[in-house]
Chain A
Amino acid sequence: MISKIETIDDKTSCYYIGISLLLSLMFLGVYAAVMSYVGSMEMLEFHISIPWTMMISTYVFFVASSIGLCIVASLGYVFGLNRYKIISKRGTFLAVITIIFGMLNVLLHLGHPERAPIYTTFTPNFRSAMWGIGFFYNLYIPLIMLTCWLLIRADLAVISENSTGWRHKLYALASGKKWLKSYNLQRFTGVIGAGSLCFGLLALAVEGSLFGHVEAREYWYGADIPVYFIFSSIHLGIAWLIFMTIITYKFKGEEMGERLKKLMLEMGKIFIILLSVSSLFITYKVYAGSIDAMKAKTVMLYIKGALSIPFWIFEMAIGTILPIVVLLFAVQRESLNGLLTAAVMVLAGAFVMKYDFVVAGQVFPVFKKAPLMFPAFMEILLIAGIGAAFFSVYMLAERFLPLKEAN
């Protein structure tokens, strides 16, 4: 059934404050990007010997989130679980915008982004994981966009029918009903969705390999990194879905339907299992690293060195242990606020975790003693701008696209 389309219409003072904040952050982000172009890109780095910092870690965070969202959403349209179909639209749309904003990070980090499409096409290096990433994302991005469009086009047609003038024409065009008459394309959506899932997972495997291949970076090197990238993306996907769904309902002041609430709680249970596995993986990684002569120095940065605060407070406490406790209560008491709190904590912890992973890997053997590894001010502005643009696009989509779950 196609639901009635609802949008954000109540414009409270909180809404205007939020919009002003997002616009200001976006302005600052554009300022940082422009300055890095007209000035020097050096202002985006806290140390010239650590060239991959927050932009790369944010990119990794966003693309892993995108694949995670694709994995969770695919349970509905690929694996046929009806209860998951209600979150398919929001899930795939979030997968689309997370990958696009993730890519924006990396494009702004490249010295010459304009050359990338030319030379990756005409002089590809098949031995390079970076080339592989580009190849698989070039397949994943159009497919996940197509999946999203297939999932919402029937609703777009409904909006078109219920409206007049340019709005009618625009939504009719967006629904593509002129070219694609049938709305019963479940099987086709499933196939396209399965394609996006496969290419997304392959892209993430190669993404992990980008770090795993680098023998000269002992902390990154190894076959466990691609595996961890894949598994950790699932709980990121769940965290994003819980966070964005609950926050949207709260922001709009709407009551969540029973089916959706039940699904949120089901995802909460899976979340507990995944976080528990993740905590075991972190423990294993710290233990294995501390007894590995090559990795021990970097692991010590985490345990009692320059990264000990982000590691113990953000990665372990906020990102892993506390969310498990909060989730146990939330699931038992059927508390959406509990789920939301846990999701926010996991996202914050994962963001810091990716940053730590990226910068920690670059400390040795260049430095004898780790430098202060706090990101450069301009880089923070740029990332804040990208984050604000991400939320703005989501809000606009929530306003104009039929992402709402059928209750």
Chain B
Amino acid sequence: MKDPDITRRDFIKFLGAASVTGLSSELANAEPVDRYAKLVNTFKCIGCRRCMSACKRENKLPPYDIPESLIRDMDGTTYTVVNFKKSSRNTEFGKFVKWQCQHCIKPACAGVCPVKAITKNKITGAVIVDETKCIGCRYCYQACPYKVPRFDFAKRVTRKCHLCYTRLPRFKPACVAACPVEAIEYGYRNLLLKKAKQEAQAVRGYVLGEHEAGGTDVLTILHDPPQEMGMIVAPKKVVNQDIDKVRITFSGVGAAAAVVGALYLYSQITKDEGDDK
């Protein structure tokens, strides 16, 4: 196995990190020694869509009603899709782009979930929806900059890619394991990012996920920036920051105070004789 795939040494390092930070359940809150991430190289992808079938198998999701090649978007039982995308800059060539939850470093979806059904494991990178907790409000879908979490109408909960968290970090996610051309890799984020930048530089491509949404634990080497590829563009900052939420809510609280003040003034100005003091 070659670097940056998970080697025995990596795993021992990970265990070291885990022993420093405590029990595995506490990993989610621990600051990582080094976080893991997934790298998708669209320059390598041949569009075989084995990752899509592997995802279905691994997660015991119902099979597609139509051929995989015709699936364009994710849904409650389709966690990943592979779409052929052409850049608006270069329409001669196209690339197969594997798309899924980007496992944001600071996930907006987790920030809005009213019942904390979404958690981020800071070491493995996985952003996971607890399906036994989800109330099915779909607020996470609204908050996600990539519109990833989808409602499963049969289970009545929101579902999405969870990075095969039960396999991590000992084994790779199912899609990574299934890819015949190693277009998807899982390993340390810093090493993958370095590698992605080098490869992108060589082909004059673009690394998606370094800065988008404040950085994501899925990195994708694209032909061109996402706006040129006709993909959803996320701002290059953490979305839904708590301080911003406080600012917005306080504008409403200010308006509420103004209404109470206006009611008081109105009652004083229009007071009749006999009105309560």
Residues of chain A whose beta carbon lies under 8 Å from any beta carbon of chain B: 40-42, 48-49, 51-52, 71, 74-75, 78-83, 109-113, 115-116, 119-120, 123-125, 127-132, 134, 186, 197-198, 201-202, 204-206, 208-210, 212-217, 222-227, 229-231, 234, 362, 365-366
Contacts and interface: CB of A to CB of B under 8 A. Distances in A.
A75 B272 contact: no
Given A125-B116, A129-B245, A198 B133 contact: no
Interface residues of B, number: 62
Contact of A229 (B147, B245, B252): B252
7 contacts: A51-B141, A71-B259, A71-B263, A201-B256, A209-B252, A214-B112, A222-B248
A41 B276 CA distance: 52
Contacts of B251: 212, 223-224, 226-227
A230 B259 contact: yes
B242 interface: yes
A186 B142 CA distance: 45
B91 interface: no
A205 B267 contact: no
B137 interface: yes
Given A48-B151, A128-B113, 17 more contacts: A49-B147, A79-B263, A80-B267, A81-B275, A120-B114, A123-B116, A124-B116, A129-B245, A130-B112, A198-B256, A201-B256, A212-B248, A213-B248, A216-B145, A216-B239, A222-B248, A366-B147
Interface string B257-277: 001100110110011101111
Listed from nearest, the 3 A-B pairs whose CB atoms lie closest are A111-B136, A226-B252, A205-B252
B248 A41 contact: no
Contact of A82 (B116, B244, B275): B275
B63 interface: no
Contacts of B267: 75, 79-81
B108 interface: yes
B135 A115 contact: yes
A113 B135 CA distance: 6
Contact of B112 (A205, A213, A222, A365): A213
Nearest to B241: A215
A226 B136 CA distance: 24
A41 to B, nearest CB: 5
A111 B234 CA distance: 28
Nearest to B115: A119
A154 B75 CA distance: 56
B136 A110 contact: yes
A127 B245 contact: yes
A365 B254 CA distance: 31
A111 B240 contact: no
Contacts of A134: 114
B245 A125 contact: no
Contacts of B143: 213-216
A32 to B, nearest CB: 15
A111 B157 contact: yes
A209 B137 contact: no
Nearest to A197: B260
Contacts of B138: 51-52
B108 A131 contact: no
A337 B111 CA distance: 49
B156 interface: yes
A365 B139 contact: no
Contacts of A365: 147, 232-233
A231 B262 CA distance: 11
A131 B249 contact: no
Given A116-B135, A366-B147, A215 B244 contact: yes
Nearest to A222: B248
Contacts of A80: 267, 271, 275-277
Nearest to A205: B252
B144 A216 contact: yes
A326 to B, nearest CB: 24
Contacts of B234: 216
Nearest to B256: A201
B86 to A, nearest CB: 14
B101 to A, nearest CB: 14
Most buried by A among B154, B251, B274: B251
A362 B138 CA distance: 12
A377 B73 CA distance: 25
B259 A201 contact: yes
Given A81-B271, A81-B275, A125-B115, A40 B154 contact: yes
A205 B266 contact: no
Interface in B123-150: 133-139, 141-145, 147, 150
Most buried by B among A49, A79, A216: A216
A120 B139 CA distance: 14
Contacts of B136: 110-112
